């Protein structure tokens, strides 16, 4: 019998700012303007340099959604020397490419034109759908309106951007809502074919947030949700589980294909209290399955129609790198 293959990527995580217009009931990533400000270019440069030296192939760029809408953010941005946070992100993506790391940006809601611009310097992009339900945890987060997020995902499909999305379990949605979310993702993929992976992420309560006292979902509930996703989603879409947030070894048999990105250089800034596993730990987690490295752009998307031609030489080189490492 052929061994199952479980994939992962090596990345560096670069939160360009933690300032955000949304006020989600479970989030501790967002900070006030004075605390969030901007990750300076020197720090980005050092992280990329260290990531390249450690064999990373991906640079994950994130920032709080539409930080310019937050009062007081503009002066910090002006001091950085960039007119907009998107200008800064684009410049840092180019720097990443120069170091030999493929950029993957997840920056909340972006317009068609903004994604078209970032497509030139990103191998892939992402946006967590989280849920198609209207929930109280999103009551003060206009960027979390399901129709707004689905519209952006549709724009990504029109632009032929290899895309990562996912749902967040335990934030007030029901199992029926989860089914509806998977059906919505499946329908988008049916039309555009650009969904690479769907993350099934369990909510972890954060101290100091409105949902700090809410329990996260247990392994049995997550397993049922993974099985539901596998029943609904197209077989080529990978189901990803964050191995630092739940016992992935127990849940892999439920239908997990991928363990996301791990980093020898940076932490998980969204969940800093949950350390990322090292490569040796990942091998233990997958058990008898084969652990295989991948890029942030999945193999079926490495053809020229799915990315800017300027990225092709780096994609080719990094594909060879991970093939050599797996030998």
Q: In the structure encoding, which two tokens stand for residue 243, read together?
A: 């191995």
Helix (H, G, I), strand (E, B) or coil at 182: helix
Share of the chain above pLDDT 90, in %: 94
Q: What is the mean pLDDT of the chain?
A: 96
Give the model's confidence band at 169: pLDDT under 50 very low, under 70 low, under 90 confident, else very high.
very high
* Phi and psi torsions of 58, nearest 5°: -130, 140
Beta strands of 107-227 (E only): which ranges?
A: 124-126, 163-169, 195-202
Mean pLDDT computed over 92-103: 98
Q: Is the pLDDT of residue 231 over 80?
A: yes
CA dist 93 → 5, 14, 53, 106, 204 (Å): 30, 10, 17, 12, 30
User: Is the confidence at residue 2, as pLDDT, over 90?
Assistant: no
Average pLDDT rounded to a whole number, residues 118-130: 98
pLDDT at residue 327 tops 90: no
pLDDT of the residue at 1: 62
pLDDT of residue 284: 95
Q: What is the DSSP letter of 135?
A: -
Quote the pLDDT of residue 290. Answer: 95
Contact 239/230 with Cβ under 8 angstroms? yes
Check whether 180 has a pLDDT greater than 90: yes
Rounded distance, CA 32 to CA 123, Å? 31
Query: Is pLDDT above 60 for 316?
Result: yes
C-beta separation of 284 from 94 below 8 A: no
- Contact call for residues 116 and 135 (beta carbons, < 8 A): no
What does DSSP say about strands 102-106 and 58-63: parallel, antiparallel, or unpaired?
parallel
Q: What is the pLDDT of residue 78?
A: 86
Domains of the chain (ranges, CATH numbers): 5-326 (3.20.20.70)
Question: 195's torsion region: left (phi>0), alpha (psi -120 to 50) or beta?
Answer: beta
Q: How long, in residues, is the chain? A: 327
Q: What is the pLDDT of residues 32-65, one digit of tens each?
A: 998 878 999 999 999 999 999 999 999 999 999 9
- Confidence band, pLDDT 50/70/90 cuts, at residue 213: very high
Name the residue with tokens 């053809």. 303
Residue 49 region by backbone torsions, left for phi larger than 0, else alpha for psi between -120 and 50, else beta = alpha
pLDDT at 324 > cutoff 70:
yes
What is the pTM for the complete model shown? 0.96
What phi, psi does 243 have (nearest 5°)?
Answer: -75, -10
The strand pairing partners of 290, in sequence order, are: 5
* Nearest Cα residue to 101 out of 124, 82, 85, 128: 124
């Amino acid at each position: 019998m052929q061994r199952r293959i479980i994939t992962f990527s090596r990345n560096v995580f670069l939160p360009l700012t933690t300032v955000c217009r949304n006020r989600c009931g479970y989030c501790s990533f967002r900070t006030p303007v004075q605390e969030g400000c901007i990750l300076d270019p020197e720090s980005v440069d050092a992280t990329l340099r260290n990531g390249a030296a450690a064999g990373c192939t991906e640079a994950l760029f994130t920032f709080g959604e539409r930080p310019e809408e937050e009062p007081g953010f503009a002066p910090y941005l002006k001091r950085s020397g960039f007119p907009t946070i998107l200008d800064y992100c684009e410049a840092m993506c180019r720097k990443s490419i120069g170091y030999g790391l493929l950029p993957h940006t997840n920056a909340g809601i972006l317009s068609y034109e903004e994604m078209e611009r970032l497509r030139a310097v990103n191998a892939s992009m992402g946006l967590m759908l989280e849920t198609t339900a209207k929930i109280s945890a999103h009551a003060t987060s206009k960027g979390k309106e399901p129709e707004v997020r689905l519209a952006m995902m549709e724009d990504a499909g029109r632009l032929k951007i290899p895309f990562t999305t996912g749902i967040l379990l335990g934030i007030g949605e029901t199992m029926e809502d989860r089914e509806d979310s998977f059906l919505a993702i499946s329908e988008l993929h049916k039309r555009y074919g650009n969904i690479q992976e769907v993350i099934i992420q369990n909510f972890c309560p954060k101290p100091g947030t409105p949902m700090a006292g809410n329990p996260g979902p247990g392994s049995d509930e997550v397993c049922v949700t993974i099985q539901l996703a596998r029943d609904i989603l197209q077989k080529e879409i990978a189901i990803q589980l964050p191995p630092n947030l739940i016992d992935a070894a127990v849940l892999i048999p439920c239908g997990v294909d991928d363990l996301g990105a791990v980093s020898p250089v940076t932490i998980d800034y969204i969940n800093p209290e949950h350390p990322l596993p090292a490569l040796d730990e990942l091998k233990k987690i997958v058990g008898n399955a084969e652990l295989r490295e991948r890029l942030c752009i999945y193999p079926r998307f490495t053809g020229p129609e799915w990315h800017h031609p300027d990225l092709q030489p780096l994609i080719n080189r990094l594909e060879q790198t991970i093939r050599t490492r797996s030998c």
